[in-house]
């Protein structure tokens, strides 16, 4: 198990952990009914915090931010010699958590995406883990919600008896959601990237050789060019440039240089 604590990458706090350490933190918090805000950040997720001081503040309040993406793992290893053997991929972590949740009898809740995706996701998870208890699910409203609607969402999750909640709203909306809702939920609340679509069967994972080489972004770009081209064409090169400046100690990226949100966005 590797848990080297939080490390500063471009001003964003990332946990230098492997799967075993991340899984241990999540299951322990679920068993203890303890709040745990979790996200899995690849390059795009990190860059949302780099380019937006308000969002950087949100990310830096998370309890656990795992390195989803080989370039993020490489950054931790090069900057801090953490010797992480692999990234902690959000979709893979979700499956590992569901497996342990099934073994421990910890019910899960699914929030986000559309009804059709949630139905397929729930079926596939139950087929894979027959003992898994899915306490409930709720699709995204694809808009900002009122304060009253937010209370209703929180109450529905609480009333379901869930011990943990997975959130699939897309980056950075899902991180905003976790930041704004997790304080009211005494459980792990996890933003898991594209895991809902992967496990529902709507997206296929990149071949392992591309994942190991840090080229999963290229595979996804080929799958969804119109939606993702700006993300990868502009943000990936910028990430490399800024990381080089940090690695050479030309620039210090201060995690404290962040702005607390003055109002909720209340995504639903």
Residue 207 lies in a domain: no
Whether pLDDT at 218 is above 80: no
If pLDDT is split at 50, 70 and 90, which confidence band does 266 have? Answer: confident
Residue 211 lies in a domain: no
State the pTM of this model. Answer: 0.93
If pLDDT is split at 50, 70 and 90, which confidence band does 224 have? Answer: confident
- State the helix-helix crossing angle for 115-128 and 90-104, rounded to 10 degrees: 60
% of the chain residues with pLDDT over 70: 98
Residue 259 lies in a domain: no
Whether pLDDT at 256 is above 90: yes
Residue 212 lies in a domain: no
Residue of higher predicted confidence among 202 and 135: 135
At residue 28, the pLDDT reads 98
According to DSSP, the β-strands at 3-9 and 12-17 are: antiparallel
Whether pLDDT at 258 is above 80: yes
Whether pLDDT at 212 is above 80: no
Whether pLDDT at 113 is above 90: yes
Give mean pLDDT, residues 99-112.
Answer: 97
At residue 169, the pLDDT reads 93
Distance separating alpha carbons of residues 181 and 192, to the nearest angstrom: 15
Per the CB < 8 A criterion, the answer to whether 19 and 93 are in contact is yes
At residue 227, the pLDDT reads 76
Least confident residue range of 62-66, 78-82, 137-141, 160-164: 137-141
Handedness of CA 152, 189, 158, 33 (dihedral sign): negative
Residue 113 lies in a domain: yes
For 30, 31, 41, 220, the CA distances from 104, given in Å and listed in that order, are 10, 9, 27, 34
14 preceded by a cis bond (ω within 30 of 0): no
Residue 208 lies in a domain: no
Whether pLDDT at 71 is above 80: yes
- Give long-range contacts, CB 8 A cutoff, 24+ apart: 214-221: 214/69, 214/70, 214/71, 214/74, 216/42, 216/69, 216/70, 217/42, 217/43, 217/69, 220/194
Whichever domain contains 61, its CATH number is 3.40.50
If pLDDT is split at 50, 70 and 90, which confidence band does 90 have? Answer: very high
Residue 246 lies in a domain: no
Whether pLDDT at 130 is above 90: yes
Residue 9 CA to its chain's centroid (Å)? 16
Give mean pLDDT, residues 92-119.
Answer: 97
Give mean pLDDT, residues 81-99.
Answer: 96
Nearest to 36, CA basis, from 150, 168, 135, 181: 181
Distance separating alpha carbons of residues 167 and 112, to the nearest angstrom: 6
At residue 111, the pLDDT reads 97
**Going by C-beta distance under 8 Å and a sequence separation of 6 or more, which residues neighbour residue 187?**
29, 30, 33, 34, 35, 36, 162, 163, 164, 165
Per the structure, the count of domains in the chain is 1
Residue 236 lies in a domain: no
For residue 51, give its domain range: 3-200
Q: Look over the chain and give the mean of its residue pLDDT values, rounded to a whole number.
A: 93
Joined together, the tokens standing for residue 182 give 């997790």
- Alpha carbons within 13 angstroms on the beta-carbon side of residue 265 total 18
Q: How is 54-74 classified by DSSP, letter by letter?
A: HHHHHHTT-SEEEE-SHHHHH
């Amino acid at each position: 198990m590797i848990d080297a604590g939080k490390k500063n990458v471009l001003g964003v706090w990332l946990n230098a952990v492997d799967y075993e350490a991340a899984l241990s933190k999540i299951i322990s918090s679920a068993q203890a009914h303890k709040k745990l805000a979790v996200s899995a950040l690849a390059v795009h997720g990190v860059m949302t915090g780099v380019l937006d001081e308000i969002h950087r503040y949100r990310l830096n309040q998370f309890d656990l931010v795992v390195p989803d993406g080989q370039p993020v793992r490489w950054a931790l290893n090069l900057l801090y010699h953490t010797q992480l053997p692999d990234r902690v991929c959000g979709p893979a972590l979700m499956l590992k958590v569901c497996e342990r949740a099934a073994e421990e009898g910890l019910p899960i809740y699914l929030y986000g995406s559309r009804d059709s995706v949630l139905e397929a996701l729930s079926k596939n998870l139950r087929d894979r883990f027959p003992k898994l208890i899915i306490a409930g699910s709720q699709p995204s409203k694809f808009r900002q919600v009122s304060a009253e609607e937010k209370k209703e969402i929180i109450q529905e999750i609480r009333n379901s008896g869930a011990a943990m909640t997975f959130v699939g709203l897309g980056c950075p909306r899902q991180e905003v959601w976790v930041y704004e809702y997790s304080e009211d939920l005494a459980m792990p609340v996890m933003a898991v990237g594209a895991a809902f679509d992967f496990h529902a069967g709507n997206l296929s994972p990149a071949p392992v050789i591309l994942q190991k080489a840090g080229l999963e972004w290229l595979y996804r770009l080929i799958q969804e060019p119109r939606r993702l081209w700006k993300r990868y064409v502009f943000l990936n090169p910028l990430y490399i440039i800024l990381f080089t400046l940090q690695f050479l100690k030309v620039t210090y990226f201060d995690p404290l240089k962040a702005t607390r949100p003055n109002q909720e966005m209340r995504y639903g």
